[in-house]
Amino acid sequence: MSPLPKRILIANRGEIAVRIARTAREMGIDPVGVFASGDSGAFHRRAMSQSLDLGPGPAYLDSGRILEAARAAGADAIHPGYGFLSENAAFARAVTAAGLLWIGPSPDSIEKMGGKLAARARMREAGVPVVPGSDGSPGEADSGAELARRAAQMGFPVLVKASSGGGGKGMVRVDRIEDLAEALSETRRVAEAAFGGGRVYFEKLFERPRHVEVQVFGDSLGHIVHLFERDCSVQRRHQKVVEETPSPALDDRLREAMGRAAVEAARAVEYVGAGTVEFLLDERGSFHFLEMNTRLQVEHPITEETLGIELVRAQIEIAAGAALPRAWQDGSLSPRGHAIELRLYAEDPFEFLPRTGRILAWEEPSGPGIRVDAGVGTGSVVGVDYDPLLAKLVVSASSREAAIARARRAVSEWIVLGVETNGRLLAAVLDSAAFQSGKYATDLIASLDRPREGEPPDAAWIAAASALEAPEPASETGTGTSRGPEDPWQVRSGWRPGA
């Protein structure tokens, strides 16, 4: 094993940048941050020993400026977090070429899992079950009869997708064979506009699947293990909102089969580091490879909590050449209790539309079984340019029932004033019979009844009136509104809208 890095540049923002900085400090490694000029008030800067200005524009995606910052700060390693450049093979190569340690899988592994169609083909070869579908071969769309035959074989509905797509973009649901050809054309048009083209294919659409993923970890000595599953079925707009482990949908046999398949998937691309293999679990209990995320996952903390391990520490050690911890390899790890992650988004809780503004008060829940990974605090400005994830609440308890009750307590305890959040949605999910029974699928949020809410209690009206009739405190005036592009240093609030 090479020595550990001395100074890691964290090429990210928000909660994940803070979370990585914490582990770096615990390992005696200096965490260095970066920020876009328009994001100079960003909360993650507080977690760093120092941070560097990347300049204007979408700077977190600018690999050149990030490498320049790493050089300027004397960093010897880069952790990309998730999103931004984390699954960009060219960036990973540039980091290595610059003589820095890349804390992530090899660029080859990233590329092999980057294209959905290529990944599907590779998984089929490796014996991993994939979602039934077409293979997107170049002439496919022209061969109407062949397509129709395949679609009929698996049954409708199907989902048309772009191989290079993501985040639900360009996906079209098709219920009848007559509409298939047109949907393929439409997705091709969208893909050309949004991702510069690429192939288009279709998959069987499961109406009420669960989304269950398996954490995998490989080292440079060729060991690959799985670290159990996370159930990510609670979604809105194809994005995860609540995750839990263990999955209430798995029994030991299925858990073992999925773990084995995930390890096979990772082995097929010679995976080193932390990765996640996502599966759809259909209503009949069969699982199908969906994709592999070649990076740290947002919801990794629930795995850390139930297993009592530290994934970011392992990422850094393994990037430096260490072997997987012995306990991960000898089968002695097993989940204890239950963990749930709830994502607090800045958005309307039931319409899912983004919300912006200044956070006037921010008080996190705490106490037994509570972990909060936050990317904002009191005074933070939530703008339109970045992901709406404000913080993750991670709850652990000895049983699923106790974890749900604890999560519900923590959501009630969380004080976030000034920007609307999805807190009421989180409460509604936890209160729902579907979630409590454990028998739910990806349609849980869509099928939730909007909770009946009475009027605020008298105390809330009286508090509101009392606050509104008092003279406004000086410290609360004039902030939270957009400013011109003046120098954020030495002005009253450092924030300005993203450039």
Which are the catalytic amino acids?
A: 295
Q: Does 28 bind a second copy (CB under 8 A)?
A: yes
Binding residue (CB under 8 A) for a second copy from 406, 414, 419, 425: 406
Sequential DSSP letters for 72-130: HHT-SEEE--SSTTTT-HHHHHHHHHTTPEE-SS-HHHHHHHHSHHHHHHHHHHTT--B
Return d(Cα 181, Cα 163) in angstroms, integer. 17
Closest CA to 393 of 369, 373, 409: 373
Contacting residue, 106, 289, 420, 448, with other proteins by CB under 8 A: 420
Q: Which of 126, 372, 427, 434 binds a second copy (CB under 8 A)?
A: 372
Applying CB under 8 A, the span of 56-64, 67-75, 237-245, 360-368 interacting with a second copy comes to 360-368
Joined together, the tokens standing for residue 93 give: 């190569």
CA pair distance 451, 476, nearest whole angstrom: 33
Nearer to other proteins, 329 or 378 (CB): 378
Contacts of other proteins in 73-102 (CB under 8 A): 73
- Minimum CB distance to a second copy smaller for 355 or for 358: 358
Strand order in the sheet with 158-162: 172-174, 158-162, 200-204
Burial class of residue 388, CB neighbours in 10 A (0-12, 13-18, 19+): buried
Residue ranges of E strands in 219-359? 224-236, 239-245, 273-281, 287-293, 338-345, 357-358
- If the CB atoms of residues 398 and 482 are measured against a second copy, the closer one turns out to be 398
Distance separating alpha carbons of residues 80 and 319, to the nearest angstrom? 13
From the list other proteins, a second copy, none, partner contacted by residue 40 (C-beta under 5 to 8 A by kind)? other proteins
Pairwise CA distance, residues 276 & 128, whole Å: 14
367 binds a second copy (CB under 8 A): yes
Among 351, 292, 272, 313, which Cα is nearest to 126's? 292
Piece in contact with a second copy (CB under 8 A), picked from 62-70, 403-411, 435-443, 478-486:
403-411
- Subset of 190-209 contacting a second copy (CB under 8 A): none
The letter for the amino acid at 234 is V
Least CB distance to other proteins at residue 342 (A): 14
Contact segment (CB under 8 A) with other proteins among 117-125, 210-218, 271-279, 347-355 equals 347-355
Exposure class string for 163-196: b at 16+ Cβ within 10 A, else e = bbbeeebbbbebeeeebbeebbeebbebbeebee
Q: From CA 180, how far away is CA 330, in angstroms rounded?
A: 49
Residues 101, 77 contacting (CB under 8 angstroms): yes
Beta strand 77-79 with 101-102 is parallel
Among 402, 427, 434, 499, binds a second copy (CB under 8 A): 402
The only residue of 124, 173, 439, 492 in contact with other proteins, by rule CB under 8 A: 492
- The minimum distance between CB 254 and other proteins, in angstroms, equals 33
For a second copy, the closer of residues 322 and 405 by Cβ is 405
Q: How far is the CB of 285 from a second copy (least distance, A)?
A: 29
Query: Scanning residues 352 to 381, which ones bind other proteins (CB under 8 A)?
Result: 353-356, 358, 360-361, 363, 378-379
* Residue 465 interacts with, from a second copy, other proteins, none (CB under 5-8 Å by kind): other proteins
Torsion of CA 458, 461, 465, 468, to 10 degrees: 150
Structure tokens at 368: 């037994």
Among a second copy, other proteins, none, what does residue 22 contact (CB within 5–8 Å per kind)?
a second copy
How near is the Cβ of 260 to other proteins at its closest, in Å? 34
Instruction: Name residues whose C-beta falls within 8 Å of residue 122's C-beta, 6 or more positions apart in sequence.
Output: 112, 268, 269
The binder of a second copy chosen from 27, 61, 254, 427 (CB under 8 A) = 27
Q: Per-residue contact track with a second copy, 317 to 336, x per CB under 8 A?
A: -------------------x
308 in contact with a second copy (CB under 8 A): yes
Q: Which of 5, 273, 375, 388 binds other proteins (CB under 8 A)?
A: 388
Residue 255 binding target from a second copy, other proteins, none, CB below 5 to 8 Å by type: none
| Residue 427 binds to a second copy (criterion: CB under 8 A) | no
Nearest approach in angstroms of CB 38 to other proteins is: 11
- Which one of other proteins, a second copy, none is in contact with 491 (Cβ closer than 5 to 8 A by kind)? other proteins
State yes or no: residue 179 binds a second copy (CB under 8 A). no
User: How many residues bind to other proteins according to rule CB under 8 A?
Assistant: 81
Q: Which two tokens stand for residue 27?
A: 């390992």
Strand partners, 341: 243, 394
Contact pick of 377, 438, 494, 497 for a second copy (by CB under 8 A): 377
289 three-class SS: strand
404, 340 in Cβ contact below 8 A? Answer: yes
Enumerate binding residues for a second copy (CB under 8 A). 18-19, 22-23, 25-28, 47, 301, 304, 308-310, 312-313, 336-337, 363-364, 366-374, 377, 396-398, 402, 405-406, 408-409, 412-413, 473-475
